[in-house]
Amino acid sequence: MWIHPRDAAARGIADGARVRVFNDRGETVLPARVTDRIAPGVVSIKEGAWFALDPTGADSRGSANVLTEDRAAPCGATTYNSCLVDVARLDGKPSPAAS
């Protein structure tokens, strides 16, 4: 998951750290790629692996499908490519690089 350095620093996330990406629909776990090649306030999950739930009910393989709605907008456009999410370090602790 790509994340801007400013957003990563605010969450204590270092490049390569495993993160939890979540919203009210679900959550997935994958590594963070901290890069200024993405706008602040935006994250991008390029592609995930096949959906697999862990014992807590979260996807453990980076499937963005657990975060998006499976419906079309009233105008007929798909809603699959955007949604609001939050991001947190998987272990909940700041990484040493963020201190």
Per-residue pLDDT of the chain (99 residues), as tens digits, is: 999 999 999 999 999 999 999 999 999 999 999 999 999 999 999 876 688 888 888 888 888 888 888 777 777 777 666 789 999 998 855 444 443
Residue 52 is encoded by which pair of tokens? 């697999």
pLDDT recorded at residue 12:
95
In 3-state terms, what secondary structure has residue 90?
Answer: coil
pLDDT recorded at residue 93:
56
pLDDT recorded at residue 36:
97
Cα pseudo-dihedral 30, 35, 36, 39, rounded to 10: -10
**How far, in Å, CA of 74 to CA of 5, rounded?**
35
Closest among 26, 92, 85, 15 to 59, alpha carbons compared:
26
Which distant-in-sequence residues (6+ apart) come within 8 Å of 76 by Cβ?
none
What CATH architecture is 1-92? Beta Barrel (2.40)
pLDDT recorded at residue 99:
38
